[in-house]
Amino acid sequence: MKKVLPILSLVVASFTAAQAQSEDAAIKETLQNYIDGGATGDTASLNRAFYPTANLRSLANGRVTSTPVKEFIGRTPKGGANWTGRIVSYSYLGTAGSAVLEMQLDAFKFVDFLSLMKIGNDWKIVSRVFTRADKSQPITSVGGGKAAVTQKKSAAKPKPKSDDGW
């Protein structure tokens, strides 16, 4: 039994690592389908990247605009948008994820904040919020801190302790 437990632990760890690599590859493939599809005008790649009812939103004249993904893909220029895209970052857990992409054009860039979902075995972009920015403007990212913990409050008021520091 003592020999079986380490072997079982190794098998579980190997499976978990392989699954994480598989998820990483699947997410990157979805994001790359979007980047390449937009850059070259390949609407089939764009359709592979987006969920059919994905939301695409931005601001125009101070108002939130919404574009159906079918309309967005239909407006893809023949030959593509001639951008150079890159994955800035992505995160995921379970069936939910998010990503930040940057698409550089000649005079400006688009920055996309994407929501992803794993639907069946495929990762799909379900929401795109984007902005147009100067090419030199950096993306601000904050994270890596401790997660907040919310505690339930009980109905009864506890008696204060004299030594609890409060």
Mean pLDDT of 11-18: 49
Give the pair of three-digit tokens for residue 44. Answer: 């089939």
Contact criterion met (CB below 8 Å) for 50 and 42: no
pLDDT on residue 11: 45
Could you tell me the pLDDT band of residue 54, with boundaries at 50, 70 and 90? very high
The whole-angstrom separation of Cα 16 and Cα 126 is: 26
pLDDT tens track for 89-102: 999 999 999 999 99
pTM of the model: 0.76
DSSP string, 22-45: HHHHHHHHHHHHHHHHHHHT-HHH
Using a 10 angstrom Cβ sphere, with 0-12 exposed, 13-18 middle and 19 or more buried, the burial of residue 97 is buried
Strand duo 122-133 + 96-104: pairing:
unpaired
